[in-house]
Amino acid sequence: MDTSDPLAGRLGPAERATAWRRLSQEHFDLVVIGGGVVGCGVALDAATRGLRTALVEARDLASGTSSRTSKLFHGGLRYLEQLELGLVREALAERELMLTRIAPHLVKPVSFLYPLRNRGWERPYVAAGLTLYDTMGGARTVPRHKHLTRAAALRLVPALRRDALIGGIRYFDAIADDARHTMTVARTAAHYGAVIRSSTQVVGFTKEADRISGVRVRDCESGEEADVAAHVVVNCTGVWTDELQRLSGERGRFRVRASKGVHIVVPRDRIVADSGLILRTETSVLFVIPWRGHWILGTTDTDWNLDLAHPAATKADIDYIFDRVNRVLATPLTHDDIEGVYAGLRPLLAGENAATSKLSREHAVARVAPGMFAIAGGKYTTYRVMAADAVDAAAADLPTRIAPSITDKVPLLGADGYYALVNQADRLAARYGLHPYRVRHMLDRYGSLIHQVLDAADGRRDLLSPLPGAPDYLAVEVVHAASHEGALHLEDVLTRRTRISIEYPHRGVESARAAAELMAPVLGWDAATIDREIEVYAARVEAERDAQTQPDDSAADARRSAAPEARPRVLEPVVL
Ligand SMILES: Cc1cc2nc3c(=O)[nH]c(=O)nc-3n(C[C@H](O)[C@H](O)[C@H](O)COP(=O)(O)OP(=O)(O)OC[C@H]3O[C@@H](n4cnc5c(N)ncnc54)[C@H](O)[C@@H]3O)c2cc1C
């Protein structure tokens, strides 16, 4: 494959049609179920080892948990406290790899202030932890932690109440736009030859005697079905793991349960600070995370047994987050400050059986049946390690020996050439007639793929205008999302390729028509389809807003699930 081809890694309508043909005609070494970060990581790992690889995702890339996280690449101070040192070291090594080699365009350092509340024990206790954190690999690309007096901490975060702290410690982690990162992993896998197809749901398994020999897939746009043949199938469906397990008719080696985490987005000017915050709660921690012109506040941790595709935030979740953050802020936040709210589900391992499943750190990989493997648990930060473990395990059922994982040496699309382009941002800006600030912002989203994005505006300068209702984004980015990034519905563009749904108080509704009209020519939509897309998106926003006024999960879930699906032919749950 020619990796210098500028169209390599493109996920547009033509590639989608080709992918459908390839799925039914080729025999794959490995088929991945699920286009979250773990599935996309497995596809990239397998493709770069030389395996014939396909990945199918029922909805949109990253539409499950992988677009709904705290967005941190971190070692996890919580694990440090539990003395899970191996886990922390591994995660910090991944953070460093992402920051330097794999995705420097997408993953950036982020500063946190730990406000100290207790005299005596607390400063040495936290400092000892952070010294370990830095020593284990934290402080390479990012600065070491630093002690601050109360006055210095208040200068860093003037929004804090004076009586909320007696001093502070500043440390660094890293942050990325999770949905864009996952999509970029998928595009990189496609670049190395993997078939990547979203809106393609696994609805059954094929067998040869007692061996899984492939999957039956359904196109969630057309309703068409086809069989995909493979030596090995890897279940990477996060909180859907048990559902796929049941569908396969095989007994699972571990179970996955869902725990809901909610985040709130508020405008940057509502909290005057030059650093994020990490606050201790009764049971865990709560973050205030800088996010472009906003802050992300979160998260919660409660059991969830309802709709897996559309977990709903309740008024109680929102009140909990505000209550904890307002305890330390001089000017409290209110519901009127909310720009966006999102809820995600942690795929937590439950009922694992160490004798039959290889329990590796906090994720598990298991051979469920001949030809079928499952991987779940873990966290976003360690997706690359999880992926390598899954492919290593799958090797047992592949007919030939396979090469070791090389993804620690594979930069994601857009990483190569990124640093030079940052230095040339002014020149780039002049070439395209854009403000240099805008170009830098785009480089952090596309890296060296920026030319691919902006060249689409050749002879169409109108595409270089901001998107109505969302001035942080250009019209051409919406076109690019549909032509290159696999976006098939308005929801994909407004919630995941851009983050308009959580960054603007209208939650995307005021940009919906303009965005739909930009997507239409790329995806072949007629006027009726444009109207339907807008209606479905508006109904989703309305249902989410409504859910967020409800006191509990079941009431919120009932409101949220009343909204229609963007992909009307998706089966939820998949029934036998
Ligand atoms: C609130 C919250 C905050 C978090 N914050 C962080 C953080 O800051 N840092 C960190 O490291 N980790 C964090 N995590 C953990 C991390 O997000 C997850 O571990 C990770 O995203 C899980 O990815 P996944 O690929 O396993 O699952 P998912 O992203 O859910 O992917 C599974 C995919 O499978 C698809 N699927 C399901 N059924 C089918 C089918 N039949 N056919 C085809 N496809 C199917 C789904 O549509 C979905 O896209 C957080 C988690 C939560 C919930």
What's the confidence (pLDDT) of residue 282?
86
Q: How far is the C-alpha of 498 from the C-alpha of 485, rounded, in Å?
A: 11
Please tell me whether residue 230 adopts helix, strand or coil conformation.
strand
Q: H-type helices in 49-84, by residue range? A: 77-81
Residue 464's CB is within 10 A of a number of other CB atoms, namely 16
Q: H-type helices in 157-260, by residue range? A: 178-191, 241-248
Which atom of ligand 1 is the closest one to the Cα of 378? 19
Residues with CB under 6 A from ligand 1: 33-39, 56-59, 63-66, 68-72, 74, 201-202, 236-240, 244, 261, 299, 344-347, 378-381, 574
Instruction: List the one residue out of 383, 307, 337 whose CA is nearest residue 66.
Output: 383
Helices (H) and strands (E) in the chain, counts: 20, 21
Tell me how far the alpha carbon of residue 64 lies from the centroid of ligand 1, in angstroms. 5
Which atom of ligand 1 is the closest one to the Cα of 300? 1
pLDDT per residue, tens digit, the chain (576 aa), is 444 455 769 999 999 999 999 999 999 999 999 999 999 999 999 999 999 999 999 999 999 999 999 999 998 887 888 888 888 999 999 999 999 999 999 999 999 999 999 999 999 999 999 999 999 876 688 999 999 999 999 999 999 999 999 999 999 999 999 999 999 999 999 999 999 999 999 999 999 999 999 999 999 999 999 999 999 999 999 999 999 999 999 888 889 999 999 999 999 999 999 999 999 998 889 999 999 999 999 999 999 999 999 999 999 999 999 999 999 999 999 999 999 999 999 999 986 554 333 444 489 999 999 999 999 999 999 999 999 999 999 999 999 999 999 999 999 999 999 999 999 999 999 999 999 999 999 999 999 999 999 999 999 999 999 999 999 999 999 999 999 999 999 999 999 999 999 999 999 999 999 999 999 999 999 999 999 999 999 999 999 999 999 999 999 999 999 999 999 899 988 875
Degrees (nearest 5) of the Cα angle 468, 474, 478? 90
Q: Which H or E run contains 518?
A: helix 512-523
Distance of CA 147 to the CA centre of its chain: 32
Give, for ligand 1, the residue of 66, 203, 373 to mutate: max count of ligand atoms closer than 8 Å to Cβ.
66
Q: How far is the C-alpha of 82 from the C-alpha of 11, rounded, in Å?
A: 42
Instruction: List the one residue out of 370, 346, 349, 367 whose CA is nearest residue 358.
Output: 367
Residue type present at position 127: A
What's the confidence (pLDDT) of residue 361?
45
Tell me how far the alpha carbon of residue 274 lies from the centroid of ligand 1, in angstroms. 30
Q: How far is the C-alpha of 213 from the C-alpha of 208, rounded, in Å?
A: 6
Residue nearest to atom 9 of ligand 1 (CA): 72
| Phi, psi of 255, deg, nearest 5 | -115, 155
Tell me how far the alpha carbon of residue 305 lies from the centroid of ligand 1, in angstroms. 16
What's the confidence (pLDDT) of residue 351?
64
Distance of CA 359 to the CA centre of its chain: 24
Please tell me whether residue 553 adopts helix, strand or coil conformation.
helix
Residue nearest to atom 4 of ligand 1 (CA): 69
Residue carrying structure tokens 């930069």 = 411
Tell me how far the alpha carbon of residue 194 lies from the centroid of ligand 1, in angstroms. 20
Which atom of ligand 1 is the closest one to the Cα of 39? 25
Q: Which H or E run contains 473?
A: strand 470-474
Output the 3-class SS for 399-466.
Answer: CCCCCCCCHHHCCCCCCCCHHHHHHCHHHHHHHHCCCHHHHHHHHHHHHHHHHHHHHHHCCCHHHHCE
Tell me how far the alpha carbon of residue 67 lies from the centroid of ligand 1, in angstroms. 8
Which atom of ligand 1 is the closest one to the Cα of 244? 41
Which atom of ligand 1 is the closest one to the Cα of 299? 1
For residue 447, CA distances in Å to 41, 184, 389, 422, 472 come to: 19, 11, 28, 9, 17
**Contact predicate 415/104, CB 8 Å:** yes
**Contact predicate 56/215, CB 8 Å:** yes
> DSSP per residue over 276-330, as a string?
EEEEE-SSSEEEEEEETTEEEEE---EE--S-SSS----HHHHHHHHHHHHTTBS
Residue carrying structure tokens 């606050």 = 279
Tell me how far the alpha carbon of residue 238 lies from the centroid of ligand 1, in angstroms. 5
Instruction: List the one residue out of 263, 305, 295, 300 whose CA is nearest residue 282.
Output: 300
Distance of CA 83 to the CA centre of its chain: 27
Structure tokens, 237: 């469906």
Give, for ligand 1, the residue of 239, 380, 569 to mutate: max count of ligand atoms closer than 8 Å to Cβ.
380
Tell me how far the alpha carbon of residue 488 lies from the centroid of ligand 1, in angstroms. 20
Residue nearest to atom 37 of ligand 1 (CA): 237
Tell me how far the alpha carbon of residue 26 lies from the centroid of ligand 1, in angstroms. 28
Degrees (nearest 5) of the Cα angle 533, 539, 542? 145
Residue carrying structure tokens 């199918």 = 56
Tell me how far the alpha carbon of residue 241 lies from the centroid of ligand 1, in angstroms. 11
Structure tokens, 40: 């996309």
Rg value, the chain, Cα: 23
Residue nearest to atom 39 of ligand 1 (CA): 58
Q: How far is the C-alpha of 280 from the C-alpha of 278, rounded, in Å?
A: 7
Buried b (16+ CB within 10 A) or exposed e, 414-448: bbebbeebbeebeebbeebebeeebbebbbbbbbb
Tell me how far the alpha carbon of residue 191 lies from the centroid of ligand 1, in angstroms. 23
